[in-house]
A and B are shown apart, each in its own frame.
Chain A
Amino acid sequence: EVQLLESGGGLVQPGGSLRLSCAASGFTFTTFAMNWVRQAPGKGLEWVSAISGSGGGTYYADSVKGRFTISRDTSKNTLYLQMNSLRAEDTAVYYCAKFPYDVLTIAGWFDPWGQGTLVTVSS
Chain B
Amino acid sequence: DIQMTQSPSSLSASVGDRVTFTCRASQSITTYLNWYQQKPGKAPKLLIYAASSLQSGVPSRFSGSGSGTDFTLTISSLQPEDFATYYCQQSYSTTITFGQGTRLEIK
Contact = CB atoms under 8 A, between A and B. Distances in A.
B105 to A, nearest CB: 15
B53 to A, nearest CB: 9
Interface string A66-99: 0000000000000000000000000000010000
Contact of B99 (A44, A105, A111): A44
B103 to A, nearest CB: 10
B57 to A, nearest CB: 11
Interface stretch (B11-19, B66-74, B88-96): B88-96
B34 A109 contact: yes
A116 B43 contact: yes
Interface in B59-107: 87, 89, 91-92, 94-101
B44 interface: yes
Nearest to A61: B95
B94 A105 contact: yes
Given A109-B46, A110-B46, A113-B43, A44 B94 contact: no
A44 B44 contact: no
B96 to A, nearest CB: 4
Contact of B89 (A45, A114, A115): A45
Nearest to A46: B98
A59 interface: yes
Interface of A: 35, 37, 44-47, 50, 59, 61-62, 95, 104-105, 107-116
Nearest 9 interchain pairs by C-beta: A107-B32, A113-B43, A111-B46, A107-B91, A47-B96, A109-B34, A109-B49, A45-B98, A44-B101
